[in-house]
Amino acid sequence: MDKIQKFQQALLNWYEGNARILPWRDDPSPYRVWISEIMLQQTRVEAVKPYFERFLQEVPTILDLAALPEDRLMKLWEGLGYYSRARNLKKAACMVMGQYHGRLPSDRKSLQT
């Protein structure tokens, strides 16, 4: 085992014993990860956790997000700040529904368009 592999293994071992329990790690589906990444922009992890769980209870899929009235979205987002994140999330959900049949693209080229 070379130095890099030893370091990688040591890091993975440390993670197993020290990783924080975060709700988006339980089920790392693309939608859940996407929502968490947007919520975590400029917002502390501890602040996001309750919003994330509440948001996904009411908006469990991209279809639900695309169909959600903006006033309800803003109410769910209330307290997280940076409301443009929520508006852009909804716009992106509508694009995913229209252009990708409700599935988040997994290839880099599609994500950049």
In 3D, which of 105, 104, 68, 101 has the Cα closest to residue 87? Answer: 68
Q: What are phi and psi of 38, to 5 degrees?
A: -70, -45
Q: Is 70 designated active site? A: no
Write out the two tokens for 107: 């290839």
- Catalytic one of 37, 53, 58, 70: 37
Kindly list the catalytic residues: 37
